[in-house]
Structure 1
């Protein structure tokens, strides 16, 4: 049994090559709305129950349906106000169930990346082939309904296997070609993960295919569901947390570019009593100079083109100096 996942190398935060974001920005800022579809009565997964209540789980289903009926419009209007294009962590079944939401996001040139098919069907217990087919289905569905080559992946309900990153990288190449990267003249596919939560800068990730692949920071600590449901913070406190998180990363961006992500859910942050604190945080962040308001795809593509090779060289030097092994 492995002592650690071995997806990436140990690489201390200090003494890394300097990241210079476009136009000299100190910080790359992106918002990742999780736009999800939950089934009222999904297939049973013996390793994880979809709902804490017996069937029918009306309460859990209802608030999530509220997100797609009401909350989505509130958040979309707010992101429009501050010139933010969402990077959607998409349950791709939404393309069939709520195509009107997909159309609104397409009109705004939002990014669509894969969050599986349903957020009530997990990777747990799947064979490698079953997971491959699920990933392939989700990426093909995004392309069919949006025309986008899916660049990023967040496992459904954060259910991750030891093969997930390898499979996503491989399926991107299988569906869209070996040269599916904008830095090589085409739109990129299967190039980044949000599943690792281990850094405040992008980092190179190992894949068995040796594809150029990165982790783009996606913060669980700033995730509205973690804040409201797990840590049970108040809306005002959540807004303060977002500002404090930004302040620190913006300060460190004086030395080398950092990344801040706010992962949201339309049934959490878009509830009426919570929206004001979120808006105040967005106003605060976007009012600062030297902030690159962008998407997950654009961060990954820029890093792969401008920073990836220097990072690999730095990692090699770090390993030669301390040889602590891989993580």
Structure 2
């Protein structure tokens, strides 16, 4: 397939990134708050019962997160002054409203993360996917009072149309393409990729590799120290992906707290969220030539009916890269443009910019650390 969601860009050739207050590393906690239906399989710790319905062994392990683990995590984040960027299944909103209430009180950032974590974002036609994602985003907006700007697919899954569907619905960044230490623009107008960790992730380290708590702390420290050393001339992004049913088991809690405290106390770290990273990057780094506003300003794109619409997949990709978005060829239903088309171009009233720069946070000791 002649389609690339992004261009190759060596990190050594890019314009430098400067984070607020002179910070060198932007750090966010990627807190996964998920729902696993009792009659469907999901991430499992005991393979011999996978496929059974019900599967009390594996389902119970996963269900520890919203019942117990999340509250242990909140306590630690509160003591460290850390706000979570929550990867939120929309089914959580109805099933665990107490978590939504607690997150709203803490001003968490909400990133749409599919309907539940047993259904992958795959094998959908564009119209079906548009309706599916619209329901997810609208559900999260109703429950949290804030429309999500970002997306992480369940198990980081997408179709080739997903970024276009997200843009159609007004979202402006994705975390699925975990291939960089910096944000960058996708080849979809107004859509950005924000880094998300695959390896510095409790599922990978604790479940996949069966590492101990002290090994986990050492890996988080090494990750931050290396990124900090590399960021003298251009900022980096670091995230720690955490799942309360894994990270917040009692015997792991003090090690997770130690790792988070090391990051929070490290000099030159901006304790932030995915939304704030996307906003700052969009403010200071203009989109590439795929942004319709930039193309029109350069006289590269036609001003006619349909020229401002977001294409919806690989077939439209070549036309868009050439600056041509012909009317009547949009694979998604007509008339379904987002209320605000975020090209995120610096100075654009419809962009993602706005509000004061957040300061680097000053942490306080965490009582979970021993």
TM norm. shorter chain > 0.5: yes
What RMSD, in angstroms, separates the aligned Cα atoms of the two structures? 2.1
Distance in structure 2 (CA, Å) of the matches to 1:191 and 1:200? 18
Question: Match for residue 270 of structure 2?
Answer: 292
1:258 equivalent among 236, 245, 252 = 236
Indicate the structure whose relative CO is greater, using CA pairs within 8 Å and at least 6 residues apart.
Answer: 1
Shift of 1:124: 2.5
Question: Match for residue 179 of structure 2?
Answer: 198
Question: Match for residue 143 of structure 1?
Answer: 141
Question: Match for residue 89 of structure 1?
Answer: 87
Distance in structure 2 (CA, Å) of the matches to 1:61 and 1:159? 22
TM-score normalised per structure 2? 0.74
| 1:155-234 → structure 2 map (5 Å cutoff) | 155-172=153-170, 190-207=171-188, 210=189, 212-234=190-212
| 1:1-327 → structure 2 map (5 Å cutoff) | 1-2=1-2, 6-42=4-40, 52-172=50-170, 190-207=171-188, 210=189, 212-309=190-287
Shift of 1:82: 0.9
Q: Which has the larger radius of gyration?
A: 2
- Cα deviations by residue, 1:69-106 (Å, 9 ceiling, x for unpaired): 00000111111111110010001111000101000000
Shift of 1:169: 1.3
Distance in structure 2 (CA, Å) of the matches to 1:20 and 1:311? 22
Distance in structure 1 (CA, Å) of the matches to 2:229 and 2:52? 48
SS at match of 1:113: strand
Distance in structure 1 (CA, Å) of the matches to 2:85 and 2:63? 20
Shift of 1:123: 2.0
* Gapped regions of structure 2 (runs ≥ 5): 43-48, 291-320, 322-370
Shift of 1:309: 4.4
SS at match of 1:31: strand
Distance in structure 2 (CA, Å) of the matches to 1:7 and 1:22? 29
Shift in alpha-carbon separation, 1:311–1:79, aligned structure 2, 3 A: farther
Distance in structure 1 (CA, Å) of the matches to 2:143 and 2:264? 31
Shift of 1:310: 8.2
* Gapped regions of structure 1 (runs ≥ 5): 45-50, 173-189, 313-325
SS at match of 2:242: strand
- Cα deviations by residue, 1:111-160 (Å, 9 ceiling, x for unpaired): 11100111112222222222211211111011101111211101123222
Q: Residue 41 of structure 2 contacts residue 50 of structure 2 at CA under 8 Å; is this kept in 1? A: no
More helix by share: 1
Q: How many residues align?
A: 286
SS at match of 2:118: coil
Shift of 1:11: 0.6
Shift of 1:231: 2.3
Q: Residue 203 of structure 1 contacts residue 311 of structure 1 at CA under 8 Å; is this kept in 2? A: no
The range that moved more, 105-114 or 224-233, is 224-233
Q: Residue 17 of structure 1 contacts residue 310 of structure 1 at CA under 8 Å; is this kept in 2? A: no
